[in-house]
Amino acid sequence: MNILAVDPGSTSTKIGIYFNGKIYKHKVEHLDENFLKIKTVVEQKDIRFDNIKQFLKDNNFEDVNFDAIVARGGLIKSVEGGVYEVNERLIEDLKKGVNGEHPANLGGILAREFAEIYNCPAFIVDPPIIDEMWEIAKITGVNSITRKSKFHALNHKEVARRVAKEKLSKRYEDSILIVAHMGGGITIGLHYYGKVVDVNNGLDGDGPFAVERAGSLPVDGIIEYLKNTEMSLDKFLKLVVKESGIYSHLKTKDMIKVEDMVTGGDNEAEKVLDAFVYNISKEIGGLFAAAKGKIDGIVLTGGLANSKLIVEKIRDYVGFMSEIYVVPGEYEIEALINGAIRVLKGEENAKIYE
Ligand SMILES: Nc1ncnc2c1ncn2[C@@H]1O[C@H](COP(=O)(O)OP(=O)(O)OP(=O)(O)O)[C@@H](O)[C@H]1O
Ligand SMILES: CCCC(=O)O
């Protein structure tokens, strides 16, 4: 069984090949000025397509008979978790970005193009828009405004499954875990017997502030800011997603640099980092209450889980609640490949996106 996995992120395209029972992984960084100048995600497609083709060619995978192409899904309509076949309707919604713009919207589109070349099916797995939230968690104080489920679903689910199996010797479906994915964005969710029943929307101003995201903001502050700057709503939304958080205070998105600033005695950096950790811990605490204090563990994952300083500061706040499992980085490529294998082996049916 041979599988090509494609995982487009904001600053990179991750590629995975499952061949002869082994996984080969590669990351193409998109940090050059010209790439960053490209205005829309859809306009990045050809560059990312060429990068994947080049990788296949350079590593002698070009002539492999792929059985499936699998990709990270994007901001389509809300769906339940699982593996979805890439169909016309899915492609249309990814192109339109019906629930917002995100690099993951290119996943299904690229998968379909490679599936045409290799004459095999294309799938997406656990898109960031999967919605398993409790009704109660969606209700806000304004009748027509509801909370939405937009999060790092792919990594959340894979890491939670691994912790349940390897550390708790339980099935994911029998466990209660709080998972904090801490990367460029931060999403913290309560995994309750196999469903993510409450989670902050990592994109649109909800939850703790992140490396580049604003998180929840006070409404009066937003109104005053918009009045003072006369900024358009579109521009404001971009600011909230790409140019806020740690970046807004310290002008870097590199947390290794922030740590260096803190250890070098920069008081401002230390204050901001402490606020960062405080907000993450408060979000975990909120979900601990939502689970009525009965959890099997807290899982810290994403790039920032590599940081001993951040992990220890979070532990100081929430360590009393339960065991903390640290799973640095992400398992998105593995999650994609495992999803495709389950379908190809007939262990799971691919769902149809409608
Ligand atoms: N050892 C480390 N110590 C501190 N910070 C680290 C370390 N390794 C990575 N980081 C930080 O992690 C962040 C990137 O995390 P990650 O790679 O998970 O983000 P991403 O994939 O771009 O975004 P997302 O996870 O939201 O999709 C950067 O700020 C990076 O500096
Ligand atoms: C909505 C997908 C996760 C994120 O980037 O915050």
Same domain flag for 314 and 338: no
Query: H helices within the chain, ranges in order?
Result: 33-37, 45-58, 88-96, 105-118, 135-138, 153-166, 219-229, 233-242, 245-250, 255-263, 267-290, 308-318, 332-344
Same domain flag for 318 and 229: yes
Identify the band that residue 31 occupies on the pLDDT scale cut at 50, 70 and 90.
low
pLDDT beyond 80 at 36: no
Range of the domain at 86: 3-130+332-344
| Ligand 1 contact via 307 beta carbon (within 6 Å) | yes
Q: How far is ligand 1, taken at its centre, from the CA of residue 36, in Å?
A: 18
Radius of gyration of the chain (CA): 20
| Ligand 1 contact via 183 beta carbon (within 6 Å) | yes
Q: Could you report the per-residue pLDDT of 286-333, keeping only the tens digit for each?
A: 999 999 999 999 999 999 999 999 999 999 999 999 999 999 999 999
- Total structural domains within the chain: 2
| Ligand 2 contact via 181 beta carbon (within 6 Å) | no
Identify the band that residue 12 occupies on the pLDDT scale cut at 50, 70 and 90.
confident
Q: Please report the atom of ligand 2 found closest to the CA of residue 186.
A: 6
How far from 197 is each of 83, 177, 178, 191, CA to CA, in Å?
A: 19, 11, 10, 6
CA pair distance 332, 155, nearest whole angstrom: 5
Q: Could you report the per-residue pLDDT of 56-69, keeping only the tens digit for each?
A: 999 999 999 999 99
| Ligand 2 contact via 185 beta carbon (within 6 Å) | yes
Q: Average of pLDDT values for 207-218?
A: 96
Same domain flag for 109 and 218: no
Q: Find the CATH number of the domain harbouring 220.
A: 3.30.420.40
Instruction: Kindly state the DSSP code that residue 353 receives in the 8-state scheme.
Output: P
Q: Is 67 part of any domain?
A: yes
Q: Is 66 part of any domain?
A: yes
Same domain flag for 84 and 125: yes
Q: Average of pLDDT values for 174-183?
A: 97
Q: How far is ligand 2, taken at its centre, from the CA of residue 129, in Å?
A: 9
